[in-house]
Structure 1
Amino acid sequence: MYYEQFSKKLETISGITVTPFHKDTKEIDWDGVKENAEYLVKKGLEVIVPCGNTSEFYALTVEEAKEEMKVVTEQVNGRAVVVAGVGYSVQTAIELGQHAKEVGADCIMIHMPIHPYITTEGAVEYFTNIIEAVDLPAIVYFKDASLSDDVLVQLAPLEKLVGVKYAINDLPRFAKAVKKMPAEHNVAMICGTAEKWAPFFYNAGAVGFTSGLVNLYPEASFELLEALENKDDETVWKIWNKLVPFEDLRAKYAAGNNVVVVKEAMELVGLNAGVTREPVAPLGEQDKKELQELIASWDLKPQKV
């Protein structure tokens, strides 16, 4: 019953945190991590995800990832569900997951393995071993289109699996995956590609969506969520048209802009995002100009925690 109830908590926006790095040293600005977590809590986020891809997870050392989980969990202090991202090798992911448990996180999100050679059977074993070894509810981040959705079907009976962050923008495929997941296992199917795709995924069976935009403009994200829940199509498409240029900018260069656009936008409205780490470069001048014009059109006022 606990895990069934937990999956219901994911029927909302999962806010993926950013990791602010100092401009000169690219060391983590831990005060900024706290400020950004506090901002999300005060803006009403019910699910907060440190060490996600928008957090630049793969640019963090294992020790930095552990510290980020700890700092965010302590700052949130029970006011929202904290879902800690884990990944790398099976043993490293387990180590991170066990640390997440120790510092008080509520759930883990298991990143898609970054590996040049991966099979459906190997992926099932990877996720299963991590889920079974960590005493927390788990979400699987599923984004490798070359893998079969049978991975998810085989994982569904695991009691601790409470959600899937589905990040393959193939709507017929997603709809089929939702129908394949047995209802009795109570696995929340989440749109893993933010506001641009949320309306389409909702129509195909999603119950929540992830967001990087909430780090600077959560009001718009919540307006979209409410409209989706109320099946208010007029408002859905009004908000979608407003936000899609931002998400299009993030999607440029095979999504190479994903994080840096969020960080630049946060800085434009007075929030502490810092710079990106390699291999993410600063935003190009033309993209920066487009972003400035977009933020101005939204009439966002300078913000602070």
Structure 2
Amino acid sequence: MSFFKGAGVAIITPMHDDGSVNLEKLDEILEQQIAEGTDAIVICGTTGESATLTEEEHLATVKHCVQTVNGRIPVIAGTGSNSTATAVAMSREAESYGVDGLLIVTPYYNKATQSGLIRHYTTIAEAVHTPIIMYNVPSRTGCNIQPETAAYLCKNVENIKGIKAASGNISQIAKTKALCGDDLEIFSGNDDQVIPIMSLGGHGVISVLSNVAPRYTHDMCRKMLDGNVKEAAEMQLKALDLIGSLFCEVNPIPVKVAMNMMGMQVGPLRGPLFDMEPANKERLRKSLIDFGLAVTE
């Protein structure tokens, strides 16, 4: 099986002005993403502010997304937790909606040992039938899936099939590929490393950039998959300034601000995330304009 090849969007969760989830706006964004070639929707991940959604909001948003996309492209739901039992319950519920995959972040705050990670992921995987992408983002969780652990899981747990690699450590990602081979699909979790990771055999990216430049991100990945390495690399390099601005403050602050700058009216962030510092906002505005994106406010 393959989750997808190319650019999956780590989609934001739009909000009304009062901070409630705006499902009507989510529909607009989903339709735009599909129309512009995005290869998969990753809903209620970090970029979707999953940490500040209630469990009811989280699941309702996943269900709504599945219904709107209606099988046109894969939908992968973030259902991870630092509680194994909570991750099991969320994953089972999302599975009942018909998601195509589950994105399971490593346990945060309380962390886990490598043997603890094996037990955590195995327990979740054995509770569902849906294929799982592990999400390794140690800068946020303080917990790192070592290559040997990833290899053990993908070779011994039937439905652990992928990893979103956001360690930033290319050497670690290369070792993961060397140990796992074709048993594990690797997706870049960093927009500035898409082409380097794909050059090691990665399948694509789960992308923040895709929220503001879906066609561009899809085309960059497509060129790489088609063997047009030079053009793909040029596109990666051209996007670096914008990517840097999208991560100059903690994600998803800049990307939601950028979408509002572009007139997409995706609403506010939820605390503790708030608006950008003025200097960073101006940097972001300039990067959007320099990249050729229309800024309306």
What TM-score do you get using the length of structure 2 for normalisation?
0.91
1:204 Cα deviation from its structure 2 partner: 2.5
Aligned position for 2:168: 169
Aligned position for 1:213: 209
1:56 aligns with 2:49: yes
Q: Contact 1:36–1:272 (CA<8 Å) still a contact in 2?
A: no
1:47 Cα deviation from its structure 2 partner: 1.1
Separation in structure 2 between the aligned mates of residue 229 and residue 39 of structure 1, nearest angstrom: 23
1:197 Cα deviation from its structure 2 partner: 0.8
1:190 aligns with 2:187: yes
Look up the equivalent residue of 1:210 and give its one-letter code.
I
Residue in structure 1 matching 2:64, options 61, 71, 74: 71
1:16 aligns with 2:10: yes
Bigger mean CA deviation after superposition, 213-222 or 49-58: 213-222
Separation in structure 2 between the aligned mates of residue 216 and residue 71 of structure 1, nearest angstrom: 22
Q: Contact 1:16–1:49 (CA<8 Å) still a contact in 2?
A: yes
Q: How does 1:36-47 map to 2 (within 5 A)?
A: 36-47=29-40
Residue in structure 2 matching 1:148, options 146, 149, 167: 146
Look up the equivalent residue of 1:291 and give its one-letter code.
L
Q: Contact 2:239–2:291 (CA<8 Å) still a contact in 1?
A: no
Note the aligned Cα RMSD (angstroms).
Answer: 1.8
Q: Contact 2:10–2:43 (CA<8 Å) still a contact in 1?
A: yes
Separation in structure 2 between the aligned mates of residue 211 and residue 53 of structure 1, nearest angstrom: 11
- Residue 48 of structure 1 aligns to a residue whose secondary structure is strand
Look up the equivalent residue of 1:33 and give its one-letter code.
L
1:246 aligns with 2:242: yes
Q: How does 1:104-123 map to 2 (within 5 A)?
A: 104-123=98-117
Residue in structure 1 matching 2:221, options 221, 225, 238: 225
Aligned position for 1:274: 267
Q: Contact 1:171–1:204 (CA<8 Å) still a contact in 2?
A: no
1:119 Cα deviation from its structure 2 partner: 0.5
Q: How does 1:84-95 map to 2 (within 5 A)?
A: 84-88=77-81, 89-95=83-89
1:182 Cα deviation from its structure 2 partner: 4.4
Look up the equivalent residue of 2:161 and give its one-letter code.
V
The CA deviation string for residues 172-222 of structure 1, in whole angstroms up to 9 with x for no partner, is 111111010143x3x21111112x111221222312111112222112112
1:279 Cα deviation from its structure 2 partner: 1.9
1:301 Cα deviation from its structure 2 partner: 4.1
Q: 1:95 to 1:209 in 2, by over 3 A?
A: same
Q: Contact 1:155–1:161 (CA<8 Å) still a contact in 2?
A: yes
What TM-score do you get using the length of structure 1 for normalisation?
0.89
Look up the equivalent residue of 2:45 and give its one-letter code.
G
Q: Contact 1:214–1:221 (CA<8 Å) still a contact in 2?
A: yes
Q: Contact 2:39–2:218 (CA<8 Å) still a contact in 1?
A: no
Aligned position for 2:26: 33
Q: Contact 1:190–1:207 (CA<8 Å) still a contact in 2?
A: yes
1:294 Cα deviation from its structure 2 partner: 1.8
1:130 aligns with 2:131: no
Separation in structure 2 between the aligned mates of residue 69 and residue 231 of structure 1, nearest angstrom: 34
- Residue 92 of structure 1 aligns to a residue whose secondary structure is helix
- Residue 54 of structure 1 aligns to a residue whose secondary structure is coil
- Residue 252 of structure 1 aligns to a residue whose secondary structure is coil
Residue in structure 1 matching 2:285, options 260, 275, 292: 292
Look up the equivalent residue of 1:250 and give its one-letter code.
L
Query: What percent identity do the matched residue pairs reach?
Result: 24
Look up the equivalent residue of 1:171 and give its one-letter code.
I
- Residue 47 of structure 2 aligns to a residue whose secondary structure is helix
- Residue 13 of structure 2 aligns to a residue whose secondary structure is coil
Look up the equivalent residue of 2:10 and give its one-letter code.
I
1:236 aligns with 2:232: yes
Look up the equivalent residue of 2:185 and give its one-letter code.
A
Bigger mean CA deviation after superposition, 201-210 or 294-303: 294-303
The CA deviation string for residues 6-62 of structure 1, in whole angstroms up to 9 with x for no partner, is x2x422211111011223x21111211222122212222221110111101111111
